[in-house]
């Protein structure tokens, strides 16, 4: 129990900064999943998937309430927890996610890799999470998947779906037709049934501004690369943690090696100013992503935002609830009492509507990307539009089970799974 508590604190810290498939009963001949399309869960910033040793001690999905993947499998749902770069950009993470699901070598793209000064190829996944993804079944229907992302994981799956649907004109122009990844060709919009984001900063977060002003943002970014470089070439790499930064030469490919000189690799990563999660999470970076990413008209989109604040009686001011995780209570307080201002680049006005938050992400930001169509939940669901679900109570960590009520967390994900299972074609 002491070790579990320590590791829980590690997870809290990662939240502050933001291949073995999950145990599945699908391998049992007598077990038939309720869902015809598997669920792929994607972790957020500094998170991990089921193929990392830390997950057996403190699962990312479920955290202190127990392994959510095991729980959902026991309840009849085929689901997998993917593992992508904890501090990588949305583009790099989407490329890794694609390779992991389909079972192939990670291809970051010719144009993208040259532009950002890193290797084109990463590791190879010899075993696919969903071996028949995109293929026709016995009834002539395409095998689809459901994508669920927490925090920056939501941005990652939006990037994946965009590339699957529209491809990348830059990669097509820069790559021979017989050498390009299937991800960059596009034309695969029918491969995904739904996209669900949980506490995702679709429009960044106003906590960025004080972190940037006091230099904390850059310190954390630089420390993260140093930490990843040291851990990524230690015996723990691939056994306990995995930073997926071999494209920069910063970490070894587990079991293969390949890391460059530590200082040279750190310099390469730090001088790359845009191909990072830090940039993608900034207001400017998020706005640029939203300009790039397009919604797909054949896919269901759902967004769940959380709030750990409430308006106090009499004074009517927003304030963090007492049951907010104490480690991130201060960030919630700062977000509540930040003065109203307007971002010069995004033109977003941070007014009273932005005070409600989950201690890391403004509730407003998690509802939907501001440049895409949306509608509030009304018992009916539409494709090609964000179905904005009712705001749920809780902080950024409790959304995935960290120091949360077990029954509440499990009921939430059971309801979500059942809803996704019953979506019409």
CA distance 201 to 150: 10
CA distance 371 to 380: 22
CA distance 215 to 249: 27
Structure tokens at 208: 């960025």
Helix (H, G, I), strand (E, B) or coil at 50: coil
Structure tokens at 176: 């021979």
Q: Which residues are catalytic?
A: 151, 358, 396
Question: CA-CA distances (angstroms) from residue 382 to 159, 161, 171, 388, 424?
Answer: 20, 17, 32, 11, 10
DSSP string over 51-88: TSTHHHHS-TTTGGG--HHHHHHHTT--EEEE---TTS
Structure tokens at 207: 């906590």
Question: CA-CA distances (angstroms) from residue 305 to 124, 365, 392, 393?
Answer: 35, 8, 6, 9
CA distance 335 to 358: 10
DSSP string over 133-167: TTSB-TTS-B--EEEEEETHHHHHHHHHHHHHHH-
Count of beta carbons in the 10 Å neighbourhood of residue 292: 14
Sign of torsion, CA 116 104 195 61? negative
Structure tokens at 265: 């690799």
CA distance 85 to 91: 10
Q: What are phi and psi of 147, to 5 degrees?
A: -115, 130
CA distance 423 to 421: 6
**Burial level of 8, CB count in 10 A (0-12/13-18/19+)?**
middle
CB 176 within 8 A of CB 184: no
**Burial level of 200, CB count in 10 A (0-12/13-18/19+)?**
buried
């Amino acid at each position: 129990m002491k070790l579990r508590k320590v590791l829980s604190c590690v997870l809290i810290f990662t939240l502050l900064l933001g291949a073995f498939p999950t145990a599945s009963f699908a391998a049992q001949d007598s077990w038939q999943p309720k869902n015809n399309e598997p669920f792929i869960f994607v972790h957020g910033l500094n998170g991990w998937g089921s193929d990392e040793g830390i997950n057996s001690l403190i699962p990312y999905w479920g955290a202190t309430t127990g392994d959510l993947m095991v729980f959902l499998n026991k309840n009849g749902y085929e689901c997998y927890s993917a593992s992508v770069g904890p501090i990588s950009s949305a583009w790099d993470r989407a490329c890794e996610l694609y390779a992991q699901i389909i079972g192939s070598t990670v291809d970051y793209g010719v144009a993208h890799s040259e532009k950002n000064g890193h290797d084109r190829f990463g590791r190879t996944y010899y075993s696919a999470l969903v071996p028949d993804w995109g293929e026709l079944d016995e009834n002539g229907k395409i095998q689809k998947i459901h994508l669920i992302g927490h925090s920056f994981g939501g941005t990652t799956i939006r990037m994946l779906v965009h590339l699957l649907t529209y491809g990348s004109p830059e990669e097509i122009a820069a790559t021979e037709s017989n050498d390009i990844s299937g991800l960059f060709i596009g034309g695969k919009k029918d491969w995904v049934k739904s996209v669900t984001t949980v506490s995702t900063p679709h429009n960044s977060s106003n906590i960025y501004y004080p972190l940037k002003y006091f230099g904390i943002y850059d310190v954390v970014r630089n420390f993260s690369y140093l930490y990843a470089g040291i851990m990524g070439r230690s015996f723990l790499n691939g056994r306990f943690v995995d930073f997926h930064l071999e494209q920069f030469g910063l970490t070894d490919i587990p079991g293969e090696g390949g890391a460059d000189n530590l200082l040279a690799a750190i310099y390469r990563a730090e001088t790359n100013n845009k191909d990072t999660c830090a940039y993608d999470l900034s207001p400017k970076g998020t706005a640029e992503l939203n300009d790039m990413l397009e919604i797909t008209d054949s896919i269901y989109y759902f967004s769940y935002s959380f709030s750990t604040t409430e308006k106090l009686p009499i004074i009517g001011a927003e304030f963090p609830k007492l049951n907010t995780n104490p480690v991130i209570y201060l960030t919630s307080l700062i977000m509540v009492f930040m003065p109203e201002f307007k971002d010069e680049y995004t033109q977003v006005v941070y007014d009273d509507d932005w005070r409600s938050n989950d201690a890391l992400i403004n509730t407003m930001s998690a509802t939907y990307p501001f440049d895409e169509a949306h509608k509030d939940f009304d018992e009916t669901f539409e494709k090609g539009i964000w179905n904005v679900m009712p705001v749920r109570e809780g902080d950024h960590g409790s959304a995935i089970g960290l120091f949360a009520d077990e029954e509440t967390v499990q009921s939430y994900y059971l309801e979500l799974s059942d809803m996704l299972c019953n979506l019409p074609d």
